């Protein structure tokens, strides 16, 4: 059974790049820009729900900073990290989407001390679960829009994955559907703060060294798709 929608009053969006932020900003109504913790946060509403969006920049540290600042400054009930990712899943191709079931840091490794690869010391977990209800709702939204997707593990690390060897390692070690550079950092901050989170990524490459010829043009295209998905998700929140 769905939880009542009153649980979600503000949705936060954390986007690594401008084109990804634009996908959210073009949906925001009654926007106000608030400078907080050295970042510009764009506050407004989408489909009648409060929303706040920020560009974090590339990599886990920037993503964690943005998540922490957003939580402290804007109290979101759900944080969604959107962007592009490298494809690791069979049956998906460039332009398809991955919705997180959980996140993992593929470059976290204290295995010389006897830990499993990917273990976050202190928390003692390898995988951090996304909000199951938000993830299921996002899947329903993608179904309704006819967009091909997989719900699975999103693997993050501070490197652009571009070799078959690294790709195979992340797939085999973590069963990941895609790799990117921010989602698991957002997930860890949310986990530590008790805030729900979800990662939504459009596939831009196969993480094997072959990127689309025109990456900026690809980002603009993805941004248009992201806008459609986010608008439909925000409309559907009352069913969450």
Binding residues vs ligand ADE (CB under 6 A): 84-86, 160-162, 179-181, 204-205, 207
CB closer to ligand ADE, 184 vs 237: 184
Catalytically annotated residue among 20, 96, 180, 206: 20
Residue 202: CB minimum distance to ligand ADE, A:
9
Contact 101, 152 (CB under 8 A): yes
- Shortest CB 154 distance to ligand ADE, Å: 10
Q: CB–CB of 94/212 below 8 Å?
A: yes
Q: Hey, CA dihedral for 82, 199, 204, 109, is it positive or negative? A: positive
Q: What does the angle CA 18 – CA 19 – CA 24 come to, to the nearest 5 degrees?
A: 90
Q: Minimum distance between the CB of residue 159 and ligand ADE, rounded to whole angstroms?
A: 7
The vertex-127 CA angle with 196 and 23, nearest 5°, equals: 50
When CB distances to ligand ADE are compared, the closest residue is 86
Cβ 105 to ligand ADE shortest distance, Å: 13
66 near 83, Cβ under 8 Å? Answer: no
Q: Which of 77, 131, 205, 206 is catalytic?
A: 205
Backbone phi, psi, residue 141, to 5°: -60, -45
205 assigned to active site: yes
Which residue number, 54 or 84, has a Cβ lying nearer to ligand ADE?
84
Q: Catalytic residue positions?
A: 20, 205
């Amino acid at each position: 059974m769905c939880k009542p929608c009153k649980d979600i009053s503000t949705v936060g969006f954390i986007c690594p790049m401008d084109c990804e932020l634009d996908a959210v900003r073009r949906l925001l109504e009654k926007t106000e820009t608030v400078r907080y913790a050295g970042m510009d946060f764009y506050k407004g509403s989408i489909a009648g729900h409060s929303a706040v969006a920020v560009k974090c920049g590339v990599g886990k540290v920037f993503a964690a900073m943005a998540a922490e600042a957003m939580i402290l400054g804007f109290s979101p009930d759900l944080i969604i990290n959107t962007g592009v990712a490298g494809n690791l899943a069979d049956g998906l191709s460039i332009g398809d989407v991955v919705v997180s079931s959980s996140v993992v840091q593929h470059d976290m490794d204290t295995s010389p001390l006897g830990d499993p690869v990917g273990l976050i010391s202190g928390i003692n977990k390898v995988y951090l679960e996304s909000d199951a209800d938000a993830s299921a709702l996002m899947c329903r939204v993608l179904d309704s829009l006819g967009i091909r997707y997989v719900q699975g593990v999103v693997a993050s690390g501070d490197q652009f994955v571009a070799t078959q060897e690294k790709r195979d390692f992340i797939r085999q070690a973590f069963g990941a559907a895609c790799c990117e550079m921010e989602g698991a950092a957002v997930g860890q901050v949310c986990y530590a703060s008790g805030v729900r989170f979800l990662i939504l990524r459009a596939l831009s490459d196969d993480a094997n060294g072959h990127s689309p010829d025109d990456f900026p043009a690809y980002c603009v295209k993805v941004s248009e798709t992201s806008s459609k998905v986010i608008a439909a998700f925000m409309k559907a929140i009352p069913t969450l």
